[in-house]
Amino acid sequence: MNTILILMLELLLIEVLALVFLLVLFKRKRQDKEIKTKKRFKPEQIIMFLIYATVFLIIAYLFVSNVFPNSFLNSGTYEIKASDANFLDALNSLSIDQEGVLGEKTEIDGETVRKIISEKPFNILFNPKKVITDNTPATLTLSFLYPNTDVYLNDKLIIPNLNNYVFVKAIGNKQVYVKKDLEKSSYKTATTAEDFIYKNFPQQSIYSFAEYSSGMPILSDYSDSQTRIKTQFRGNLKMAVYAEDTLEISFTKKDLNSYVGKDEYTLTITDSQDKQIFKRTFEDDGDKKDSSEEGDEQDFSSRVYDLKKGIYYLNFIREDGNKYDDSTIKDLKINTNKILFLDRCLPLDEFEFYTYVGNEKTIGFYYWHTNADQKVYQTGQQDEVIDLNVAWKSKRYNQELDEKGDYSFELEKGDVWLYFDEISPSKESWFNLPIKTSNKVDSDVIIFDSNKISIKNNKVIYLQNIKVSEDTKFKLQVLDKDKIYFNKVKLDLEL
């Protein structure tokens, strides 16, 4: 309707101007056709010429404006400033549709701003007074001061509450912010934001407004020396290792033969992109009955060549035809000094392991066999003796680790299920897995794309490339009122 009304008004104006033009033309006196040397123009002739020129230019402008709406004659910038008095006027090309969301204008840090005093959503309305083509490319710019609340655009978070965060590093087009209690006096250098976070904030949760790739860390203390783990493990075993070029794995398999069925292990190796690069099944010892006589030990080894440097995941998966775990792995040897156990494991004898705590984590213990009660010795950041006495039989004991630092554990007997996120055979074997981004905004680390958001001191400018048509609107909302100041909104059309 807005476009039709504008066209009608413009056509009416053309008709009026054309009528004026005809009246002037008919009233004009016939001029002497003889041209006299150095004849001066009379004042009325100059006036007539100016009238003709003005009429022609107006008609030309209206024609070009309607037939070629994206021509140079049309301005493509629209703006609402906090200093404006009529930002609620719907007759403006750009306006706000809700009263009572912006307070009185004031001066802060040399900027004219208005406090957002309502949590009620409001729309920025775009009703241009000229014809534009549908889906015209444009840049929307929003400017705020003191953003101590979350800001949403069209129900999507664009600016989080940064009250509890500090800026620590800008690398490329990424800006890294961390919670104030994680700020350090110095940081390890890196060439990418991902590597910077990996080196300086291991295990911290990450929320990113920019495209983020966890990447592949380069471990400066890696060596291809053999790590030997003598402990006997029952059932499935999941591990992560850091390797380069060649990965060599050997172990001793022993079947318990306590249940009917084949006692097999299948080893799969996947890369960091979950692509399977190796698979092999290690056969049963030949006794498929529930004889309860343990089988002979079988030694196996495997090699994988031409590996790119990086993290690989090893999964020893027992035959799923058995109701319970009926085979074991022990004397595990791997040609890397960087090894992690993931998720859970069941060591059958004494076992030592290490973990690093960046955030709070829990180590779980569970035993169910008689005479498997024992003590677990915890050392490091906090020293403690965990007493898994008979009162804990068939009950899970959770040890909460809430202080950042190193922890080592020693199982007295074993035959205990361990539950964890990551543990390693020793501190030297430990490495941090790359952290994937979280969907939790209140994360330890926040990453911004500097192409979309600029944060300087207490001012935040957000930019978004969009496409607009007539009657386009943008929905804005803040989570908390009186926590942020509106500075301006600008819409730049690519004409």
In order, the DSSP letters of 375-432 are EEEEEESS-EEEEE-GGGTTS-EEEEE-SSEEEEEEESS---EEEEEEEBSSTTT--P
In the predicted structure, residue 274 carries a pLDDT above the cut 80:
yes
Q: What band does 129 get if pLDDT is binned at 50, 70 and 90?
A: confident
Task: State yes or no: pLDDT of 228 exceeds 60.
Answer: yes
Q: Per-residue pLDDT averaged across 135-160, rounded?
A: 96
Question: What percentage of the chain has pLDDT greater than the value 90?
Answer: 69
As a whole number of angstroms, the distance between CA 333 and CA 228 comes to 4
Mean pLDDT along residues 313-317 = 96
* Contact by Cβ (8 Å): 329, 250: no
Task: Give residue 71's pLDDT band: very low, low, confident or very high (50, 70, 90).
Answer: very low
In terms of Cα–Cα distance, which of 228, 227, 232 is closest to 347? 232
Residue 220 is predicted with a pLDDT of 86
Burial label, 444 (beta-carbon count in 10 A; 0-12, 13-18, 19+): buried
The whole-angstrom separation of Cα 46 and Cα 100 is 55
Q: Using alpha carbons, list the distances in angstroms from residue 474 to 142, 477, 491.
A: 11, 10, 11
CB 348, CB 414: distance < 8 Å: yes
Per-residue pLDDT at 259: 65
Distance CA 321, CA 325 (A): 10
Mean pLDDT of 325-332: 90
> Is residue 120 predicted with pLDDT exceeding 60?
yes
* pLDDT at position 114 over 70: yes
Instruction: Report the range of poorest mean pLDDT among 204-218, 287-301, 430-444, 461-475.
Output: 287-301
The pLDDT, as a whole number, for residue 49 is: 62
pLDDT value of position 394: 98
- What integer pLDDT is reported at residue 263 of this predicted model? 75
Asked whether the predicted pLDDT for residue 57 surpasses 80, the reply is no
Q: Which helix (H) or strand (E) holds 276?
A: strand 276-282
Q: What pLDDT was estimated at residue 41?
A: 55
Same fold, 77-146+458-493 and 216-346: yes
Q: How confident is the model over 370-375, as a mean pLDDT?
A: 97
Average pLDDT of the segment spanning 352-365: 95
Give the 3-state secondary structure of residue 462: strand
In the CATH hierarchy, which top-level class contains the domain 77-146+458-493?
mainly beta
* pLDDT of 469 above 60: yes
Average of pLDDT values for 296-303? 93
**Rounded average pLDDT over 362-384:** 97
Domain regions of the chain by residue span: 1-17+41-67, 77-146+458-493, 216-346, 349-433
Calculate the dihedral angle through the C-alpha atoms of 143, 146, 150, 154, rounding to the nearest 10 degrees.
-10
pLDDT of residue 36: 46
If we measure between CA atoms, which residue out of 240, 426, 250, 231 comes closest to residue 335?
A: 250
Is residue 223 within 8 A of residue 335, CB to CB? The reply is no
pLDDT in the model for residue 44? 61
The mean pLDDT value of the chain amounts to 87
* Token digits of residue 60: 């030309």
Q: What CATH number labels 216-346? A: 2.60.120.380
Give the pLDDT confidence score for residue 318 in this predicted structure. Answer: 86
pLDDT for position 321: 65
Which of 21-30, 72-81, 190-199, 274-283 is predicted least confidently? 21-30
**pLDDT value at position 255?**
80
Kind and range of the H or E run holding 151: strand 151-153
Confidence check: pLDDT of 128 > 50: yes
| Strongest mean pLDDT among 174-178, 256-260, 263-267 | 174-178
pLDDT at 353 over 90: yes
**Coil vs helix vs strand at 444:** coil
Tokens encoding 182: 């994680």
Whether residue 37 has pLDDT greater than 80: no
Confidence of residue 296 (pLDDT cuts 50, 70, 90): confident
